[in-house]
Structure 1
Amino acid sequence: MTISSSIANDFNDKLAVKVITGLNNFNIKQIKQMTQAAEIAGATYMDIAADISIVKELQSTTTIPICVSAISAEKLFHCEKAGVQILEIGNYDVFYAQGRFFSSKEIMQISEDIRNLLPNTTLCVTIPHVLCMEEQIKLTQNLRNLGVDIIQTEGKSTSFSKQGDLSGIIQKSASTCSSTYTISKNSNMPIISASGISALTSPISFLYGASCVGVGNNIQRLNNIKSMVLYIYEIKTAIQYNRHEKQDITHSIKTSGITYDLISSGLKL
Protein backbone atom coordinates (compact mmCIF):
# COMPACT_ATOMS: atom_id res chain seq x y z
CA MET A 1 0.00 0.00 0.00
CA THR A 2 1.23 3.47 -0.86
CA ILE A 3 -0.16 6.94 -0.24
CA SER A 4 0.48 9.74 -2.73
CA SER A 5 3.58 11.70 -1.78
CA SER A 6 1.54 14.92 -2.00
CA ILE A 7 -0.39 14.01 1.16
CA ALA A 8 1.84 11.37 2.79
CA ASN A 9 3.60 13.65 5.30
CA ASP A 10 0.37 14.92 6.89
CA PHE A 11 -0.99 11.37 7.07
CA ASN A 12 2.21 10.04 8.64
CA ASP A 13 2.16 12.89 11.17
CA LYS A 14 -1.58 12.33 11.81
CA LEU A 15 -2.36 15.95 11.00
CA ALA A 16 -4.17 15.68 7.66
CA VAL A 17 -7.25 17.79 6.91
CA LYS A 18 -9.39 17.07 3.85
CA VAL A 19 -11.97 19.55 2.56
CA ILE A 20 -14.95 17.81 0.95
CA THR A 21 -17.14 19.55 -1.61
CA GLY A 22 -19.51 16.61 -2.13
CA LEU A 23 -19.99 13.75 -4.58
CA ASN A 24 -23.07 15.41 -6.11
CA ASN A 25 -21.88 19.01 -5.89
CA PHE A 26 -21.20 20.42 -9.37
CA ASN A 27 -21.44 24.10 -8.37
CA ILE A 28 -18.11 25.20 -9.79
CA LYS A 29 -18.25 28.62 -8.11
CA GLN A 30 -18.64 27.12 -4.66
CA ILE A 31 -16.08 24.39 -5.35
CA LYS A 32 -13.51 26.98 -6.42
CA GLN A 33 -14.24 29.06 -3.31
CA MET A 34 -13.75 26.06 -1.03
CA THR A 35 -10.60 25.05 -2.88
CA GLN A 36 -9.10 28.52 -2.64
CA ALA A 37 -9.93 28.67 1.07
CA ALA A 38 -8.41 25.22 1.62
CA GLU A 39 -5.21 26.20 -0.13
CA ILE A 40 -4.86 29.47 1.81
CA ALA A 41 -5.59 27.79 5.16
CA GLY A 42 -3.16 24.96 4.47
CA ALA A 43 -5.54 22.01 4.23
CA THR A 44 -3.91 18.78 3.05
CA TYR A 45 -6.11 18.15 0.03
CA MET A 46 -9.51 18.51 -1.63
CA ASP A 47 -12.16 15.84 -2.22
CA ILE A 48 -14.47 16.65 -5.17
CA ALA A 49 -16.95 14.91 -7.46
CA ALA A 50 -15.40 12.72 -10.15
CA ASP A 51 -16.12 15.16 -12.95
CA ILE A 52 -13.46 15.75 -15.61
CA SER A 53 -14.48 19.36 -16.32
CA ILE A 54 -14.22 20.31 -12.63
CA VAL A 55 -10.91 18.48 -12.31
CA LYS A 56 -9.44 20.40 -15.25
CA GLU A 57 -10.77 23.72 -13.93
CA LEU A 58 -9.12 23.20 -10.55
CA GLN A 59 -5.89 21.93 -12.08
CA SER A 60 -5.59 25.24 -13.91
CA THR A 61 -6.18 27.40 -10.83
CA THR A 62 -4.76 25.59 -7.79
CA THR A 63 -1.83 23.49 -6.62
CA ILE A 64 -3.57 21.75 -3.71
CA PRO A 65 -3.76 17.95 -4.19
CA ILE A 66 -7.11 16.73 -5.51
CA CYS A 67 -9.04 13.56 -4.72
CA VAL A 68 -12.14 12.53 -6.66
CA SER A 69 -15.04 10.54 -5.20
CA ALA A 70 -17.51 8.28 -6.98
CA ILE A 71 -19.12 4.85 -6.77
CA SER A 72 -18.21 4.11 -10.38
CA ALA A 73 -14.86 2.52 -11.24
CA GLU A 74 -15.19 3.95 -14.75
CA LYS A 75 -15.52 7.56 -13.52
CA LEU A 76 -12.55 7.15 -11.20
CA PHE A 77 -10.49 5.61 -13.99
CA HIS A 78 -11.12 8.54 -16.35
CA CYS A 79 -10.22 11.07 -13.64
CA GLU A 80 -6.96 9.26 -12.95
CA LYS A 81 -6.11 9.46 -16.63
CA ALA A 82 -6.75 13.22 -16.36
CA GLY A 83 -4.02 13.48 -13.73
CA VAL A 84 -5.78 12.82 -10.39
CA GLN A 85 -3.58 10.79 -8.04
CA ILE A 86 -6.04 10.09 -5.20
CA LEU A 87 -9.29 8.21 -5.77
CA GLU A 88 -12.12 7.52 -3.34
CA ILE A 89 -15.07 5.18 -3.34
CA GLY A 90 -17.52 6.89 -1.06
CA ASN A 91 -19.40 9.96 0.13
CA TYR A 92 -22.69 8.07 0.19
CA ASP A 93 -24.89 10.75 1.80
CA VAL A 94 -26.75 11.63 -1.39
CA PHE A 95 -27.63 7.96 -1.91
CA TYR A 96 -28.88 7.45 1.63
CA ALA A 97 -31.33 10.29 1.07
CA GLN A 98 -32.67 8.32 -1.90
CA GLY A 99 -33.01 5.12 0.16
CA ARG A 100 -29.97 3.59 -1.56
CA PHE A 101 -27.58 1.60 0.64
CA PHE A 102 -24.36 -0.26 -0.11
CA SER A 103 -23.49 -3.77 1.05
CA SER A 104 -20.01 -5.06 1.83
CA LYS A 105 -20.18 -7.24 -1.28
CA GLU A 106 -20.96 -4.22 -3.48
CA ILE A 107 -18.19 -2.12 -1.95
CA MET A 108 -15.71 -4.96 -2.47
CA GLN A 109 -16.74 -5.35 -6.11
CA ILE A 110 -16.29 -1.65 -6.92
CA SER A 111 -12.94 -1.66 -5.09
CA GLU A 112 -11.75 -4.74 -6.95
CA ASP A 113 -12.79 -3.23 -10.29
CA ILE A 114 -10.80 -0.04 -9.74
CA ARG A 115 -7.81 -1.89 -8.25
CA ASN A 116 -7.65 -4.12 -11.32
CA LEU A 117 -7.71 -1.05 -13.57
CA LEU A 118 -5.30 1.03 -11.47
CA PRO A 119 -3.14 -1.14 -9.22
CA ASN A 120 -0.79 1.64 -8.07
CA THR A 121 -3.00 4.71 -7.60
CA THR A 122 -3.82 5.82 -4.04
CA LEU A 123 -7.27 4.43 -3.26
CA CYS A 124 -9.51 5.33 -0.32
CA VAL A 125 -12.75 3.50 0.46
CA THR A 126 -15.52 4.72 2.76
CA ILE A 127 -17.02 2.14 5.12
CA PRO A 128 -20.83 2.55 5.19
CA HIS A 129 -22.07 3.45 8.65
CA VAL A 130 -25.20 1.36 8.08
CA LEU A 131 -23.13 -1.81 8.49
CA CYS A 132 -22.84 -3.27 11.98
CA MET A 133 -19.46 -2.75 13.62
CA GLU A 134 -18.34 -6.34 13.13
CA GLU A 135 -19.05 -6.07 9.43
CA GLN A 136 -17.25 -2.73 9.20
CA ILE A 137 -14.14 -4.36 10.70
CA LYS A 138 -14.35 -7.36 8.37
CA LEU A 139 -14.84 -5.13 5.31
CA THR A 140 -11.83 -3.04 6.33
CA GLN A 141 -9.65 -6.13 6.60
CA ASN A 142 -10.84 -7.44 3.22
CA LEU A 143 -10.15 -4.07 1.60
CA ARG A 144 -6.65 -4.05 3.05
CA ASN A 145 -6.03 -7.49 1.56
CA LEU A 146 -7.24 -6.12 -1.77
CA GLY A 147 -4.64 -3.35 -1.65
CA VAL A 148 -6.76 -0.37 -0.60
CA ASP A 149 -4.58 2.35 0.93
CA ILE A 150 -6.90 4.41 3.15
CA ILE A 151 -10.19 3.81 4.96
CA GLN A 152 -12.74 6.55 5.59
CA THR A 153 -15.34 6.27 8.33
CA GLU A 154 -18.69 8.03 8.31
CA GLY A 155 -21.58 8.51 10.68
CA LYS A 156 -25.31 8.90 10.71
CA SER A 157 -26.32 12.46 9.87
CA THR A 158 -28.10 14.23 12.72
CA SER A 159 -29.48 17.74 13.10
CA PHE A 160 -28.42 20.28 15.69
CA SER A 161 -31.17 21.04 18.19
CA LYS A 162 -30.12 24.64 17.79
CA GLN A 163 -27.25 26.46 16.11
CA GLY A 164 -24.04 26.02 18.07
CA ASP A 165 -25.59 23.64 20.63
CA LEU A 166 -22.70 21.73 22.25
CA SER A 167 -24.52 18.42 22.71
CA GLY A 168 -25.70 18.57 19.10
CA ILE A 169 -22.15 19.13 17.82
CA ILE A 170 -20.84 16.15 19.79
CA GLN A 171 -23.78 13.94 18.82
CA LYS A 172 -23.25 14.75 15.17
CA SER A 173 -19.77 13.22 15.19
CA ALA A 174 -20.35 10.46 17.75
CA SER A 175 -20.97 7.57 15.36
CA THR A 176 -18.11 8.70 13.10
CA CYS A 177 -15.67 8.75 16.00
CA SER A 178 -16.97 5.40 17.28
CA SER A 179 -16.28 3.74 13.94
CA THR A 180 -12.86 5.41 13.76
CA TYR A 181 -11.93 4.10 17.20
CA THR A 182 -13.13 0.55 16.61
CA ILE A 183 -11.58 0.19 13.15
CA SER A 184 -8.28 1.72 14.30
CA LYS A 185 -8.08 -0.88 17.08
CA ASN A 186 -8.57 -3.69 14.56
CA SER A 187 -6.51 -2.42 11.64
CA ASN A 188 -3.27 -0.53 11.09
CA MET A 189 -4.57 1.23 7.99
CA PRO A 190 -4.64 5.06 7.79
CA ILE A 191 -8.14 6.29 8.64
CA ILE A 192 -10.03 9.41 7.62
CA SER A 193 -12.75 10.41 10.07
CA ALA A 194 -15.57 12.21 8.25
CA SER A 195 -19.25 13.17 8.76
CA GLY A 196 -20.17 15.80 11.33
CA ILE A 197 -16.57 16.71 12.15
CA SER A 198 -16.02 20.23 13.50
CA ALA A 199 -13.24 22.24 15.13
CA LEU A 200 -14.49 20.98 18.49
CA THR A 201 -14.59 17.28 17.61
CA SER A 202 -11.69 16.98 15.14
CA PRO A 203 -9.11 16.43 17.91
CA ILE A 204 -11.24 13.55 19.22
CA SER A 205 -10.95 11.80 15.86
CA PHE A 206 -7.15 11.87 16.10
CA LEU A 207 -7.21 10.68 19.70
CA TYR A 208 -9.37 7.78 18.47
CA GLY A 209 -6.86 6.74 15.82
CA ALA A 210 -7.52 8.86 12.73
CA SER A 211 -4.74 10.11 10.47
CA CYS A 212 -7.01 12.66 8.79
CA VAL A 213 -10.35 14.40 9.25
CA GLY A 214 -12.73 15.26 6.43
CA VAL A 215 -14.87 18.39 6.68
CA GLY A 216 -17.47 19.51 4.17
CA ASN A 217 -20.94 20.64 5.24
CA ASN A 218 -19.69 23.00 7.94
CA ILE A 219 -17.59 24.80 5.34
CA GLN A 220 -20.25 24.76 2.60
CA ARG A 221 -22.70 26.66 4.79
CA LEU A 222 -20.31 29.64 5.03
CA ASN A 223 -20.97 32.39 2.51
CA ASN A 224 -17.52 33.78 1.78
CA ILE A 225 -13.94 32.61 1.38
CA LYS A 226 -12.69 34.56 4.38
CA SER A 227 -15.04 32.65 6.70
CA MET A 228 -14.05 29.35 5.09
CA VAL A 229 -10.34 30.10 5.57
CA LEU A 230 -10.82 30.90 9.25
CA TYR A 231 -12.94 27.80 9.84
CA ILE A 232 -10.35 25.48 8.27
CA TYR A 233 -7.59 27.25 10.17
CA GLU A 234 -9.55 26.83 13.40
CA ILE A 235 -9.67 23.07 12.80
CA LYS A 236 -5.94 22.91 12.10
CA THR A 237 -5.20 24.96 15.23
CA ALA A 238 -7.42 22.75 17.40
CA ILE A 239 -5.59 19.66 16.14
CA GLN A 240 -2.18 21.21 16.78
CA TYR A 241 -3.18 22.39 20.25
CA ASN A 242 -4.20 18.90 21.29
CA ARG A 243 -0.82 17.58 20.18
CA HIS A 244 1.17 20.27 21.98
CA GLU A 245 -0.36 21.12 25.34
CA LYS A 246 1.77 24.22 25.88
CA GLN A 247 0.71 25.84 22.63
CA ASP A 248 -1.33 29.01 23.04
CA ILE A 249 -4.28 28.88 20.63
CA THR A 250 -5.60 32.33 21.54
CA HIS A 251 -5.59 33.98 18.17
CA SER A 252 -7.45 36.27 15.85
CA ILE A 253 -7.30 36.99 12.16
CA LYS A 254 -4.55 39.53 12.89
CA THR A 255 -2.42 37.33 15.17
CA SER A 256 -2.82 33.99 13.44
CA GLY A 257 -0.47 32.56 10.82
CA ILE A 258 -3.00 33.63 8.22
CA THR A 259 -2.88 37.38 8.41
CA TYR A 260 -5.53 39.82 7.39
CA ASP A 261 -3.20 41.23 4.75
CA LEU A 262 -2.73 37.79 3.18
CA ILE A 263 -6.46 37.17 2.99
CA SER A 264 -7.51 40.64 1.88
CA SER A 265 -4.83 40.93 -0.76
CA GLY A 266 -5.60 37.61 -2.36
CA LEU A 267 -9.38 37.56 -2.13
CA LYS A 268 -12.32 39.67 -3.18
CA LEU A 269 -14.75 39.37 -0.30
Structure 2
Amino acid sequence: MTISASIVADFTDKLAVKVITGLNNFNIKQVTKMTQAAEIAKATYMDISADINIIHQLQSNSTIPICVSAVSSRKLVQCQQAGVQILEIGNYDAFYEQGRLFSSEEIIEISKNTRNLLPSTTLCVTIPHILCIEEQIQLTQDLKNIGVDIIQTEGGSTGFSKSNDLSGIIQKAASTCSSTYAISQNINIPIVSASGISSLTTPISFLYGASCVGIGNNIRKLNNITSMVIYIYEIKTAIECNRNKKQKITHSISKSNITCNSISSRIKV
Protein backbone atom coordinates (compact mmCIF):
# COMPACT_ATOMS: atom_id res chain seq x y z
CA MET A 1 0.00 0.00 0.00
CA THR A 2 1.27 3.48 -0.89
CA ILE A 3 -0.35 6.77 0.09
CA SER A 4 0.48 9.74 -2.14
CA ALA A 5 3.45 11.77 -0.90
CA SER A 6 1.30 14.90 -1.16
CA ILE A 7 -0.98 13.78 1.70
CA VAL A 8 1.01 11.14 3.58
CA ALA A 9 2.38 13.48 6.28
CA ASP A 10 -1.08 14.60 7.43
CA PHE A 11 -2.33 11.00 7.43
CA THR A 12 0.69 9.82 9.41
CA ASP A 13 0.20 12.60 11.97
CA LYS A 14 -3.57 11.95 12.02
CA LEU A 15 -4.63 15.51 11.27
CA ALA A 16 -5.75 15.30 7.64
CA VAL A 17 -8.77 17.27 6.40
CA LYS A 18 -10.48 16.45 3.11
CA VAL A 19 -12.95 18.87 1.49
CA ILE A 20 -15.65 17.02 -0.48
CA THR A 21 -17.44 18.78 -3.33
CA GLY A 22 -19.66 15.80 -4.21
CA LEU A 23 -19.57 12.94 -6.70
CA ASN A 24 -22.36 14.49 -8.81
CA ASN A 25 -21.41 18.13 -8.28
CA PHE A 26 -20.45 19.53 -11.70
CA ASN A 27 -21.02 23.16 -10.70
CA ILE A 28 -17.58 24.47 -11.64
CA LYS A 29 -18.17 27.82 -9.94
CA GLN A 30 -19.00 26.21 -6.60
CA VAL A 31 -16.21 23.63 -6.89
CA THR A 32 -13.71 26.38 -7.65
CA LYS A 33 -14.84 28.40 -4.62
CA MET A 34 -14.51 25.37 -2.35
CA THR A 35 -11.07 24.62 -3.76
CA GLN A 36 -9.88 28.17 -3.18
CA ALA A 37 -11.17 28.03 0.38
CA ALA A 38 -9.52 24.66 1.00
CA GLU A 39 -6.20 25.92 -0.33
CA ILE A 40 -6.28 29.13 1.72
CA ALA A 41 -7.22 27.22 4.90
CA LYS A 42 -4.56 24.58 4.12
CA ALA A 43 -6.82 21.57 3.98
CA THR A 44 -4.99 18.37 3.07
CA TYR A 45 -6.77 17.64 -0.22
CA MET A 46 -9.93 17.97 -2.31
CA ASP A 47 -12.39 15.24 -3.29
CA ILE A 48 -14.23 16.07 -6.52
CA SER A 49 -16.34 14.44 -9.22
CA ALA A 50 -14.63 12.40 -11.94
CA ASP A 51 -14.94 15.14 -14.53
CA ILE A 52 -11.91 15.82 -16.77
CA ASN A 53 -12.88 19.46 -17.42
CA ILE A 54 -13.14 20.22 -13.70
CA ILE A 55 -9.85 18.42 -13.06
CA HIS A 56 -8.05 20.52 -15.67
CA GLN A 57 -9.63 23.70 -14.33
CA LEU A 58 -8.44 23.03 -10.78
CA GLN A 59 -5.00 21.89 -11.92
CA SER A 60 -4.51 25.19 -13.75
CA ASN A 61 -5.57 27.37 -10.81
CA SER A 62 -4.50 25.57 -7.63
CA THR A 63 -1.84 23.34 -6.14
CA ILE A 64 -3.93 21.48 -3.55
CA PRO A 65 -3.86 17.67 -4.07
CA ILE A 66 -6.95 16.34 -5.86
CA CYS A 67 -8.87 13.10 -5.30
CA VAL A 68 -11.67 12.03 -7.61
CA SER A 69 -14.63 9.88 -6.61
CA ALA A 70 -16.51 7.47 -8.87
CA VAL A 71 -17.95 3.96 -8.90
CA SER A 72 -16.47 3.09 -12.29
CA SER A 73 -12.95 1.76 -12.83
CA ARG A 74 -13.00 3.21 -16.35
CA LYS A 75 -13.68 6.74 -15.07
CA LEU A 76 -11.00 6.43 -12.40
CA VAL A 77 -8.42 5.32 -14.97
CA GLN A 78 -9.30 8.32 -17.17
CA CYS A 79 -8.78 10.65 -14.22
CA GLN A 80 -5.46 9.05 -13.35
CA GLN A 81 -4.34 9.58 -16.93
CA ALA A 82 -5.31 13.25 -16.51
CA GLY A 83 -2.81 13.53 -13.67
CA VAL A 84 -4.85 12.65 -10.56
CA GLN A 85 -2.92 10.46 -8.12
CA ILE A 86 -5.62 9.89 -5.46
CA LEU A 87 -8.72 7.93 -6.43
CA GLU A 88 -11.79 6.96 -4.47
CA ILE A 89 -14.52 4.40 -5.00
CA GLY A 90 -17.43 5.90 -3.16
CA ASN A 91 -19.44 8.93 -2.11
CA TYR A 92 -22.67 7.00 -2.55
CA ASP A 93 -25.14 9.66 -1.34
CA ALA A 94 -26.46 10.48 -4.81
CA PHE A 95 -27.09 6.79 -5.48
CA TYR A 96 -28.92 6.23 -2.20
CA GLU A 97 -31.36 8.96 -3.23
CA GLN A 98 -32.10 6.88 -6.35
CA GLY A 99 -32.58 3.70 -4.30
CA ARG A 100 -29.26 2.29 -5.59
CA LEU A 101 -27.36 0.23 -3.00
CA PHE A 102 -23.89 -1.29 -3.23
CA SER A 103 -23.10 -4.77 -1.89
CA SER A 104 -19.74 -5.90 -0.52
CA GLU A 105 -19.26 -8.13 -3.55
CA GLU A 106 -19.81 -5.28 -6.00
CA ILE A 107 -17.41 -2.98 -4.15
CA ILE A 108 -14.75 -5.70 -4.02
CA GLU A 109 -15.12 -6.28 -7.77
CA ILE A 110 -14.74 -2.58 -8.61
CA SER A 111 -11.79 -2.32 -6.24
CA LYS A 112 -10.03 -5.33 -7.72
CA ASN A 113 -10.47 -4.02 -11.26
CA THR A 114 -9.20 -0.59 -10.31
CA ARG A 115 -6.21 -1.89 -8.37
CA ASN A 116 -5.25 -4.26 -11.21
CA LEU A 117 -5.39 -1.40 -13.72
CA LEU A 118 -3.63 1.09 -11.42
CA PRO A 119 -1.30 -0.84 -9.11
CA SER A 120 0.63 2.16 -7.76
CA THR A 121 -2.05 4.88 -7.48
CA THR A 122 -3.43 5.80 -4.05
CA LEU A 123 -6.84 4.12 -3.75
CA CYS A 124 -9.52 4.89 -1.15
CA VAL A 125 -12.80 2.97 -0.85
CA THR A 126 -15.92 4.06 1.03
CA ILE A 127 -17.61 1.43 3.21
CA PRO A 128 -21.42 1.64 2.82
CA HIS A 129 -23.20 2.50 6.06
CA ILE A 130 -26.05 0.19 5.05
CA LEU A 131 -23.88 -2.82 5.95
CA CYS A 132 -23.93 -4.08 9.52
CA ILE A 133 -20.75 -3.45 11.53
CA GLU A 134 -19.51 -7.03 11.12
CA GLU A 135 -19.88 -6.77 7.34
CA GLN A 136 -18.10 -3.41 7.32
CA ILE A 137 -15.15 -4.89 9.20
CA GLN A 138 -14.96 -7.90 6.88
CA LEU A 139 -15.21 -5.73 3.77
CA THR A 140 -12.41 -3.52 5.08
CA GLN A 141 -10.20 -6.55 5.61
CA ASP A 142 -10.94 -7.82 2.10
CA LEU A 143 -10.13 -4.42 0.63
CA LYS A 144 -6.88 -4.19 2.57
CA ASN A 145 -5.92 -7.61 1.18
CA ILE A 146 -6.58 -6.30 -2.34
CA GLY A 147 -4.19 -3.43 -1.71
CA VAL A 148 -6.56 -0.55 -0.94
CA ASP A 149 -4.67 2.24 0.83
CA ILE A 150 -7.40 4.15 2.69
CA ILE A 151 -10.91 3.39 3.96
CA GLN A 152 -13.66 5.98 4.27
CA THR A 153 -16.56 5.50 6.65
CA GLU A 154 -19.92 7.13 6.12
CA GLY A 155 -23.08 7.68 8.10
CA GLY A 156 -26.77 7.65 7.36
CA SER A 157 -28.47 10.62 5.77
CA THR A 158 -27.29 13.82 7.41
CA GLY A 159 -30.75 15.27 6.88
CA PHE A 160 -32.63 13.06 9.32
CA SER A 161 -32.03 15.36 12.28
CA LYS A 162 -33.38 18.89 12.06
CA SER A 163 -31.93 19.81 15.42
CA ASN A 164 -28.97 22.20 15.36
CA ASP A 165 -28.21 21.84 19.05
CA LEU A 166 -25.40 19.68 20.43
CA SER A 167 -27.45 16.47 20.51
CA GLY A 168 -28.50 16.92 16.87
CA ILE A 169 -24.93 17.59 15.75
CA ILE A 170 -23.63 14.49 17.53
CA GLN A 171 -26.53 12.42 16.20
CA LYS A 172 -25.57 13.30 12.63
CA ALA A 173 -22.01 12.03 13.13
CA ALA A 174 -22.79 9.02 15.33
CA SER A 175 -22.98 6.43 12.55
CA THR A 176 -19.71 7.29 10.83
CA CYS A 177 -17.87 7.65 14.15
CA SER A 178 -19.16 4.25 15.28
CA SER A 179 -17.96 2.62 12.06
CA THR A 180 -14.61 4.37 12.39
CA TYR A 181 -14.16 3.03 15.90
CA ALA A 182 -15.18 -0.55 15.07
CA ILE A 183 -12.92 -0.75 12.02
CA SER A 184 -9.93 0.91 13.72
CA GLN A 185 -10.14 -1.56 16.60
CA ASN A 186 -9.95 -4.52 14.24
CA ILE A 187 -7.84 -3.50 11.24
CA ASN A 188 -4.78 -1.29 10.91
CA ILE A 189 -5.57 0.91 7.92
CA PRO A 190 -5.88 4.71 7.55
CA ILE A 191 -9.50 5.83 7.92
CA VAL A 192 -11.36 8.91 6.70
CA SER A 193 -14.48 9.74 8.73
CA ALA A 194 -17.08 11.48 6.60
CA SER A 195 -20.83 12.29 6.82
CA GLY A 196 -22.16 14.80 9.30
CA ILE A 197 -18.74 15.81 10.61
CA SER A 198 -18.47 19.25 12.23
CA SER A 199 -15.93 21.13 14.34
CA LEU A 200 -17.63 19.67 17.42
CA THR A 201 -17.52 16.04 16.26
CA THR A 202 -14.13 16.15 14.48
CA PRO A 203 -12.23 15.37 17.73
CA ILE A 204 -14.48 12.35 18.29
CA SER A 205 -13.54 10.95 14.87
CA PHE A 206 -9.81 11.19 15.67
CA LEU A 207 -10.31 9.81 19.17
CA TYR A 208 -12.09 6.85 17.57
CA GLY A 209 -9.19 6.08 15.23
CA ALA A 210 -9.55 8.31 12.15
CA SER A 211 -6.53 9.70 10.33
CA CYS A 212 -8.64 12.20 8.39
CA VAL A 213 -12.08 13.80 8.39
CA GLY A 214 -14.10 14.55 5.27
CA ILE A 215 -16.33 17.62 5.24
CA GLY A 216 -18.71 18.56 2.45
CA ASN A 217 -22.34 19.50 3.10
CA ASN A 218 -21.51 22.02 5.80
CA ILE A 219 -19.19 23.85 3.40
CA ARG A 220 -21.36 23.59 0.28
CA LYS A 221 -24.21 25.42 1.99
CA LEU A 222 -22.02 28.47 2.73
CA ASN A 223 -22.36 31.43 0.37
CA ASN A 224 -18.84 32.79 0.08
CA ILE A 225 -15.19 31.77 0.19
CA THR A 226 -14.50 33.69 3.39
CA SER A 227 -17.12 31.70 5.32
CA MET A 228 -15.78 28.47 3.85
CA VAL A 229 -12.22 29.31 4.91
CA ILE A 230 -13.32 30.11 8.45
CA TYR A 231 -15.29 26.86 8.68
CA ILE A 232 -12.32 24.76 7.51
CA TYR A 233 -10.07 26.65 9.88
CA GLU A 234 -12.42 25.81 12.77
CA ILE A 235 -12.14 22.12 11.84
CA LYS A 236 -8.33 22.33 11.82
CA THR A 237 -8.32 24.21 15.14
CA ALA A 238 -10.54 21.55 16.72
CA ILE A 239 -8.02 18.90 15.63
CA GLU A 240 -5.06 20.82 17.06
CA CYS A 241 -6.82 21.53 20.35
CA ASN A 242 -7.67 17.85 20.70
CA ARG A 243 -4.04 16.88 20.03
CA ASN A 244 -2.76 19.26 22.71
CA LYS A 245 -5.07 18.46 25.60
CA LYS A 246 -2.82 20.04 28.22
CA GLN A 247 -2.76 23.47 26.66
CA LYS A 248 -5.24 26.07 27.78
CA ILE A 249 -7.77 26.38 24.96
CA THR A 250 -8.56 30.06 24.48
CA HIS A 251 -8.96 30.04 20.72
CA SER A 252 -11.67 31.95 18.96
CA ILE A 253 -11.88 33.20 15.39
CA SER A 254 -11.67 36.80 16.64
CA LYS A 255 -8.34 36.03 18.37
CA SER A 256 -6.88 33.93 15.58
CA ASN A 257 -4.45 35.11 12.93
CA ILE A 258 -7.11 34.53 10.25
CA THR A 259 -9.23 37.58 9.50
CA CYS A 260 -11.75 38.36 6.81
CA ASN A 261 -9.31 40.87 5.31
CA SER A 262 -6.44 38.37 5.18
CA ILE A 263 -8.72 35.83 3.49
CA SER A 264 -10.05 38.34 0.98
CA SER A 265 -6.53 39.27 -0.11
CA ARG A 266 -5.91 35.66 -1.18
CA ILE A 267 -9.14 35.03 -3.08
CA LYS A 268 -8.68 34.81 -6.85
CA VAL A 269 -11.25 36.73 -8.86
TM-score range, shorter chain: over 0.9
For 1:41 and 1:57, the matched residues in 2 are separated by: 20
Residue 251 of structure 1 aligns with an amino acid whose one-letter code is S
Partner of residue 250, structure 1: 251
Aligned to 1:130, the other structure's residue is in SS state coil
Partner of residue 184, structure 1: 184
Change (3 A) 1:241 1:48: same
Identity within the alignment, %: 72
Q: 2:67 touches 2:85 (CA, 8 Å); kept in 1?
A: yes
Partner of residue 232, structure 1: 232
C-alpha deviation, 1:67, in angstroms: 0.1
Residue 253 of structure 2 aligns with an amino acid whose one-letter code is S
Change (3 A) 1:223 1:109: same
C-alpha deviation, 1:145, in angstroms: 0.4
Q: 1:66 touches 1:86 (CA, 8 Å); kept in 2?
A: yes
For 1:264 and 1:37, the matched residues in 2 are separated by: 10
Q: 2:163 touches 2:169 (CA, 8 Å); kept in 1?
A: no
Change (3 A) 1:266 1:158: closer
Partner of residue 209, structure 1: 209
For 1:232 and 1:249, the matched residues in 2 are separated by: 18
C-alpha deviation, 1:258, in angstroms: 2.4
Residue 15 of structure 2 aligns with an amino acid whose one-letter code is L
- Residue deviations 1:204-241 (CA, integer Å, cap 9, x gap): 00000000000000000000000000000000001100
Moved over 6 A (4+): none
For 1:163 and 1:138, the matched residues in 2 are separated by: 34
C-alpha deviation, 1:160, in angstroms: 6.3
Partner of residue 11, structure 1: 11
C-alpha deviation, 1:157, in angstroms: 1.1
C-alpha deviation, 1:159, in angstroms: 2.9
- Residue deviations 1:40-97 (CA, integer Å, cap 9, x gap): 0010000000110000000000000000000000000000000000000000000001
C-alpha deviation, 1:249, in angstroms: 4.2
For 1:252 and 1:179, the matched residues in 2 are separated by: 31
Residue pairs, 1:23-172, within 5 angstroms: 23-159=23-159, 161-162=161-162, 164-172=164-172
C-alpha deviation, 1:192, in angstroms: 0.2
C-alpha deviation, 1:187, in angstroms: 0.5
Gaps of 5+ in 1: none
Gaps of 5+ in 2: none
Q: 2:161 touches 2:171 (CA, 8 Å); kept in 1?
A: no
C-alpha deviation, 1:161, in angstroms: 4.8
Aligned to 1:6, the other structure's residue is in SS state coil
For 2:182 and 2:228, the matched residues in 1 are separated by: 31
C-alpha deviation, 1:165, in angstroms: 1.8
RMSD: 1.4
Q: 1:241 touches 1:249 (CA, 8 Å); kept in 2?
A: no
Residue 117 of structure 2 aligns with an amino acid whose one-letter code is L
For 1:134 and 1:148, the matched residues in 2 are separated by: 19
